Structure 1
Amino acid sequence: MPLPEVLQGRLSLPVVGAPLFIVSNPKLVVAQCTAGIVGTFPSLNARPAERLEAWLEEITAALAAWDLDHPAQKSAPYAVNLIVHRSNTRLEHDLALCVKYRVPVIITSLGARPEVNAAIHAYGGIVLHDVINDAFARKAVEKGADGLIAVAAGAGGHAGVLSPFALVQEIRTWFSGPLALSGAIATGDAILAAQACGADLAYIGTAFIATTEANASPAYQRALVEGKAADIVYSSLFTGVHGNYLRASILAAGLDPDNLPEGDVTTMNFHEGATKAWKDIWGAGQGIGAIQSVPQAADLVARLGGEYAAARQRLKL
């Protein structure tokens, strides 16, 4: 199925930069969009809540200026990630601002809400919902999501356990709409592989943590450059939902990464004033072995594009 109109003709690569907790900011989003991929950020990164409008103004103005100066190479659309979990007391506030600024793409997580989808559709926006299995995918579409993000094994942050081949195959038996795939994608070859198995777009997060625009500490970025897939730990301790994290940050917190207790999903809390007990635990996916340096985001996109083109040539596509 063709991509939604908002994405057609605006992408240099079939890639969405995943929203990164704490890390994603307007500078990174603008760099991603002007390089030709969808840039995103979680609305909760803008704290306090009043800062969100300033971020939306900044991104909107920067992309409009770019498009004016580059009529032949206009920016890709941006997206805002809304956490729709019941503990997010900011949801109504953040949704209202997304409607006001007519954010082109909304990514919803941790629940599917028909009223959120309806509000976005009212101004012509589209909603992509992230899921870890086929059952959640069906519920999201039933409640009005336009597209899906299949979060497979190996993805950074909250992630599922299913093989990307299995997850995409199951979803594609009944859903022909927009589908992005997440899970250890950090090379142009992997972008092509995502398309080959049935996805329309690759959803890449961890690689963008190691860019100069990202709001990540040098120690975090250094751990990504030095790390391998074996340095990723899958645990539910930190949020109550299973996710992938860097072993080095768990050790630095004084914990044994090989003997972590299970978390309690009932403690998951996205309230504005919630204490972040594990703010120094670093999320990362299993694709970190491809991260060799900390480039500008545009240079990373260029590297991915070169690898993607080479993979297509190698396979004579």
Structure 2
Amino acid sequence: MLTADVDEDVVAAAAERVRLVDFFWLDPRPDLVELAHRGGALVGWQVGSVEEARAATDAGSDVVTVQGTEAGGHVRGSRPLRPLLAEVLAAVDVPVLAAGGIASGPALAAVLADGADGARIGTLFVATEESAAHPDYKRAVVDASSGSTVVTGAFATECPLCATSPRARVLRAAVDRVASFDGDVVGTLTIAGGELPLPRGAGMPPVAAVSGSVDAMALYAGEGVGSVTGVRPAREVVADLAAALPR
């Protein structure tokens, strides 16, 4: 659930159908946690600071995800993952997941060794056969090297999350391309009933149903992107991650 404009009926409906209802980008709210708990679900809250982690647990969250600035996509906080993770682990007594720049088995093993109970991994799974990302987006992730991402506000058009903080980590090449793009519409999204134009600087990442200048769209990627070496089945990615963990 994203932004402060949360539909409580949606929260209630989700809680009856899934094991975990996850919140991000809005301040922790006890009423939403209670609503999800009443539906039978656990609650997770993704945070970008120690203060927000404490607020999430005070609100009743069962799990906290610590997001470092290495993360791809919308960046909540302002600190790197591992020092922030250490402080959150010392501050809360619920399971803690790590997120941000984790795109390899060794990176996963490192945060687990730091004390995380698990991790969230995004960029690595963008480049999987099962991913709904546009093929050109997948290829851009595979071709990117370490140091090729940047936190920017360049993709804040029609982006609800960006209303409060237009900060997202994307491939630097996409920022350069959208800056030089000539026109107001970078492409279209084919949906039931027609096509939806995508304005220049739109916050939506390109999915398979998108056409147009994909290289000028929001190519979200974390700092671990250099570890992504190919488009593979998700089962192979998971197997490689597991193989790097201590037995």
Match for residue 150 of structure 1? 66
Tell me the equivalent position of 1:231: 148
Say yes or no: does 1:110 pair with 2:25.
yes
Report if aligned partners of 2:43, 2:62 keep a CA contact under 8 Å in 1: yes
Query: Structure 2 CA distance, aligned partners of 1:87 and 1:229?
Result: 36
Name the CA distance, whole Å, in 2 between partners of 1:201 and 1:255: 40
Which residue is 1:291 aligned to? 228
Deviation at 1:135, TM superposition (A): 1.1
Match of 2:243 among 296, 302, 306: 306
Structure 1 unaligned spans of 5+: 1-81, 257-272
**2:95 matches 1:178:** yes
Measure how far apart 1:134 and its partner are. Answer: 0.7
- State the alpha-carbon separation in 2 of the partners of residues 173 and 247 from structure 1: 35
For 2:244 and 2:113, locate their aligned partners in 1 and report how far apart those are by CA, in whole Å. 15
Runs of 4+ that moved beyond 6 A: none
Equivalent residue of 1:230, what SS? coil
Query: How many residue pairs are counted as aligned between the two chains?
Result: 208
TM superposition score normalised by structure 1: 0.61
Gaps of at least 5 residues in structure 2 are 157-161, 182-195, 205-216
Deviation of residue 123 (structure 1)?
3.5
In the TM superposition, what whole-angstrom CA distance separates every residue of 1:87-146 from its partner, at most 9, and x where no partner exists? 45xx22421321332x10111011222222112212332111011111111111111211
Distance in 2 of aligned mates of 1:131 and 1:87: 18
Tell me what 1:281 maps to.
218
Q: Percent identity at matched positions?
A: 29
Q: How far apart are 1:153 and its partner, in Å?
A: 2.3
Question: Which residue in 2 is equivalent to 1:123?
Answer: 39
CA separation in 2, counterparts of 1:250 and 1:193?
A: 31
What amino acid maps onto 1:190 in structure 2? A
Aligned residue number for residue 54 of structure 2: 138
User: Which residue type is aligned with residue 246 of structure 1?
Assistant: L
Q: Higher strand fraction: Structure 1 or Structure 2?
A: 2
Give the root-mean-square deviation of aligned CA atoms.
2.1
Give 1:61-80 correspondences, 5 Å limit: none
